[in-house]
């Protein structure tokens, strides 16, 4: 077995992984600060070394072959592990840790950021870079170390720490009296796009027929839905943890008891990041806050 052939140079792997992720030599070249022809030559050198056809080429377009897609998944995972190992070594040497954390936008602004000063007080050498994300994180291709997300159950292949169950409340403008479930069903119902089952579950919980729902517009961000409720467009069903401030101040009013959805909030990360000093510190602090 020729082990040199099985361990291509890092420059070839980086060029391939970027080109495979974008399926574009041009975008890979921009990312790596190389010329397009340099990326093309490095990918061709890798193909010749391995004896594999990793891309199909049609004019200026490139597309991964089946074996190329398989190789890209494994290479991306390996490069992620190398980057993680380097970060751990740098953090250990300097005593300063950096965590790249993705979080749901409204959860980040309403729950996490108001408390984050407590983390910095406990860990003055640590830095947490916040990235707002709604879609699930692909840890193999992104540079995110960990994420706070919401869902039903744990995700395979990731370390998942359940933070808290999601409690939903019906919110409306304060000028309305408290509404019964039957009265709520008569109003225009606003929803968050990533949780389309919220109102159907609420109706089932209260024994109301789904055909009675008057569904209104949906919103990508919970904060936008809250603004729409404030403007009197309709009634919302949102996580209580995201509207505590508005309910306390009287800007909004809730009707009925909190409703436990099937979802929970989780801290998620790939097992390879387990030993990151910054992640270990943040995880301990976060679980303590919950």
Range scoring the smallest mean pLDDT among 45-49, 153-157, 171-175, 223-227: 153-157
pLDDT, mean of residues 112-134: 91
DSSP 272: G
Residue 184 lies in a domain: yes
| Main-chain dihedrals φ then ψ at residue 176, nearest 5 degrees | -85, 145
Residue 273 lies in a domain: no
Q: Which has more pLDDT, 220 or 2?
A: 220
pLDDT at res. 206: 93
Residue 132 lies in a domain: no
Residue 256 lies in a domain: yes
* Residue ending a domain, choose from 52, 70, 85: 85
Residue 53 has pLDDT above 70, yes or no: yes
Residue 273 has pLDDT above 80, yes or no: yes
Place of tokens 């270990």: 280
Tell me the DSSP string of 173-239.
Answer: -TTSPPPPHHHHTTS-EEEETT-TTHHHHHHHHTT--GGG--EEEEESSHHHHHHHHHTTS-EEEEE
**Banded pLDDT at 92 (limits 50, 70, 90):** low
**Banded pLDDT at 88 (limits 50, 70, 90):** low
For the chain, percent of residues with pLDDT exceeding 70: 94
pLDDT at res. 78: 82
pLDDT, mean of residues 104-129: 91
Residue 67 lies in a domain: yes
Is the CB of residue 278 less than 8 Å from the CB of residue 165? no
* Residue ending a domain, choose from 39, 55, 85: 85
* Tokens of residue 119, six digits: 């983390």
Q: What is the pTM of this model?
A: 0.67
pLDDT at res. 189: 97
Residue 145 lies in a domain: no
pLDDT at res. 126: 86
Distance CA 43, CA 17 (A): 9
What is the CATH number for 256?
Answer: 3.40.190.10
pLDDT at res. 203: 95
**Number of domains within the chain:** 2
Residue 90 has pLDDT above 90, yes or no: no
pLDDT tens profile 162-188: 999 999 999 999 999 999 999 999 999
Distance CA 253, CA 250 (A): 7
What is the CATH number for 75?
Answer: 1.10.10.10
Give buried/exposed letters for 23-55 (b at 16+ CB in 10 A, else e).
Answer: bbbeebbebbebebebbbebbebbbeebeeebb
pLDDT tens profile 180-239: 999 999 999 999 998 999 999 999 999 999 998 999 999 999 999 999 999 999 999 999
Distance CA 21, CA 27 (A): 10
Residue 286 lies in a domain: no
Give the domain range for residue 180.
165-265
* Residue ending a domain, choose from 68, 85, 102: 85
Residue 255 lies in a domain: yes
């Amino acid at each position: 077995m020729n082990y040199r052939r099985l361990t291509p140079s890092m420059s070839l792997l980086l060029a391939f992984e970027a080109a495979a992720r974008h399926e574009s030599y041009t975008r890979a070249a921009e990312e790596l600060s190389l010329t397009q022809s340099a990326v093309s030559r490095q990918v061709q050198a890798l193909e010749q070394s391995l004896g594999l056809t990793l891309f199909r080429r049609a004019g200026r377009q490139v597309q991964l072959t089946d074996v190329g897609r398989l190789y890209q998944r494994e290479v991306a995972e390996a490069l992620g592990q190398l980057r993680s190992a380097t970060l751990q070594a740098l953090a250990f040497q300097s005593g300063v840790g950096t965590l790249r954390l993705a979080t749901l936008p409204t959860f980040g602004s309403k729950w996490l950021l108001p408390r984050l000063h407590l983390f910095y007080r406990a860990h003055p050498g640590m830095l947490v870079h916040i990235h707002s994300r709604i879609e699930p994180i692909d840890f193999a291709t992104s540079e995110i170390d960990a994420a706070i997300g919401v869902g039903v159950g744990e995700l395979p292949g990731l370390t998942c720490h359940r933070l808290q169950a999601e409690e939903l409340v019906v919110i409306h403008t304060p000028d309305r009296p408290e509404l019964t479930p039957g009265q709520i069903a008569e109003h225009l119902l606003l929803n968050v796009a990533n949780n389309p089952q919220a109102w159907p579950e609420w109706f089932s919980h209260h024994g109301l027929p789904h055909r009675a729902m008057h569904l209104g517009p949906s919103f990508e961000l919970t904060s936008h839905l809250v603004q729409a409720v404030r403007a009197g467009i309709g009634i919302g069903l949102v996580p209580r943890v995201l509207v505590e401030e508005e309910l306390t101040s009287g800007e909004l009013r809730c009707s009925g008891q909190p409703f436990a959805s099937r979802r929970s909030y989780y801290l998620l990360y790939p097992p390879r990041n387990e030993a990151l000093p910054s992640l270990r510190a943040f995880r301990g602090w976060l679980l303590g806050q919950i």
